[in-house]
Structure 1
Amino acid sequence: MAFLRVQTEAGVAQVTLTRPEKLNALNAEMMVGLAELWPRLADDPDVRVVLLTGDGERAFSSGADLGSLAPLATGAVLPQTAVEYRWVTEHQAIVDGALLRGTGFTKPVVAAVKGLAVAAGFELMLASDIRIASDQAFFQLTEVKRGLIPSGGSMARLPRQIGWANAMEMILAAERIDAMRALSMGLVNRVVSSKDVLPVAQDMARRIAEGAPLALTKAKEAVVRGSGLDLDAAFAIEKTCQDVVMASEDAREGPLAFMERRAPRFTGK
């Protein structure tokens, strides 16, 4: 796929945004590519965890490439390719799909963030579950400064992830947040040197991938679907997910492997 590199090994699919000369800004090809990629990864039995990162040292992603996407969106420029035509005619569905703006993707996602993660690039990161950031990383939602709002998931996700006051500071004041403040907010899990970001994130993804595939997806599903609900409703979702897991072959294999003092052989069934 144009500007996207996918490598799968030992249950981990590493997805890299590969447009470093443009700070990994998301153009039509990347947005359509991501929207098509996520369902494929969801259905791939060889993928237990996704590791998402950006190529180069300067950026995870600088957001949507407004120079190419805005003229298409406003009709100032007519689409020249099939991908651009899809961007124009299926715009909202592609944005929703590319930025995982929904609750349907239940495989764990680890983000490795170097440099900036702003606007839609920041919103893509918000769709991840665990974040490893460089000590040189920073985070920002700039939309209100451009007469827009961050509608790629930030207004729904951010207050749930870092609390009302911190979220509103980022959304309304467009505050630039450095790595250490992001850590104190709970926006990222760890801050490490730039050279260690990818190795630490890869190690985290590999350790997650050692878990049972069905248990991983159902655990994430219970957390995502239960977020914001009252406790009784959240407990009901937890119970439903638990019932599915306990009926699986993996739920029998895990304890058996523990008693036999061997590594479990999970199949996702």
Structure 2
Amino acid sequence: MSDKVLTRRHGRVLSIVINRPQVRNAIDTETSEGIAAALMQLDGDSTLAAGVISGAGTGFCAGMDLKAFLAGERPAVEGRGFAGIVQSPPEKPLVAAIEGHALAGGFEIALCCDLLVASESAVFGLPEVRRGLMAGGGGLLRLPRRVPHNMAMEWILTGRHVGAAEAERWGLVNRLVPDGTALDEALRLAETIAENGPLALRGSKQVVEQSGDWSASEAFTRQQEIYEPVRSSADAQEGARAFKEKRSPRWTGQ
């Protein structure tokens, strides 16, 4: 994997770091490929249950690397889109640790995550309209699902920067923490998630992500298709035994 993206295991959690602090962790093609590879590692390793993505240095991500773009690069991965994530986020839970700026494509990466931990000085924004552009990396699709519609429209149509306290007030941020501690808190949150059954985590996320398109008449049938294999799994039996025996479960992902 490129040194533009670093990974490190923390038990059952994979930490993914965008490592280009000299350009505010802007995304070029190699970085996109590195993020995609890290997400494949997360989803493909049965001993990993959750991930955390962060930026090196003092910022999360400033979006697309414009110099690389002008040089002819397209910072996307086939089937996964910009930054190797926006079209195809991981199947397993992913937590964003936001320090500093998460702007444009950087904000769109954060919106791919299931939970956001932000430092008090973190800043979010989709400023594309100020440059006559649209936020084409999923921001227009995901932001209205994360905050009230009218606030999403204000942030999108003005292109203004949104502070972490405001983002928390409207429900975008799960944890607001002192500067310099977002990654530690995100890892703690991910480790708490990773204590749970891996099949149950993946299935639960799948239902939440997909059910928005389900009609009322088909919702429980569609949910059952995901639920039944989890209910019938060895992990479900292990969870029940561990509860009865008053011990921590030993998950196998089967």
State whether TM-score is above 0.5: yes
Q: Which structure carries more helix by proportion?
A: 1
Aligned to 2:152: 167
1:151-198 Cα distance to aligned partner (Å, 9 max, x none): 111111111111211111121110211011000111111111013212
Counterpart residue number, 1:142: 127
Match of 2:230 among 224, 240, 245: 245
Compute the TM-score of the two structures, normalised by the length of structure 1: 0.88
Contact 1:226–1:233 (8 Å) recurs in 2: no
- Paired residues in the alignment total 253
Query: 3-state SS of the aligned residue for 2:53?
Result: strand
Separation (CA, whole Å) in 2 of partners of 1:60 and 1:195: 12
Amino acid at match of 2:202: T
Kept in 1, the 8 Å contact 2:42–2:50? The answer is no
| TM value normalised by structure 2 | 0.93
Indicate the residue corresponding to 1:255 in structure 2: 240
1:68 match: 68
1:98 pairs with one of 62, 84, 94: 84
1:37-48 alignment, distance < 5 Å: 37-48=38-49
Which of 110, 125, 132 is 2:110 aligned to?
125
Secondary structure at 2:180 match in 1? helix
For 1:118, the aligned partner's letter is L
Change (3 A) 1:12 1:27: same
Aligned CA-pair RMSD: 1.8
User: Which letter maps to 1:246?
Assistant: R
Q: Percent identity among equivalent residues?
A: 34
- The one-letter code sitting in structure 1 at the alignment partner of 2:68 is S
Mapped pair 1:185 → 2:170: yes
Distance in 2 (alpha carbons) for counterparts of 1:213 and 1:249: 11
Q: Which residue of 2 aligns with 1:195?
A: 180
Counterpart Cα distance in 1 of 2:166 and 2:247? 42
The equivalent of 1:79 in structure 2 is: none
SS in 1 for 2:81: helix
Distance across 2 between alignment mates of 1:113 and 1:107:
19
Residue-by-residue CA offset, 1:26-55 (whole Å, 9 max, x unaligned): 112101222333223211112110111111
1:249, 1:165 → 2: CA distance?
A: 45
Q: In the superposition, relative to structure 1, how do residues 29 and 7 fare at CA in structure 2: closer, same or farther (>3 Å)?
A: same
Give how far 1:235 is off. 2.6
Q: What SS does the aligned partner of 2:25 have?
A: coil
- The answer to whether 1:33 aligns with 2:34 is yes
Specify every segment of 5 or more residues in structure 2 that has no aligned partner in the other structure, as ranges.
none
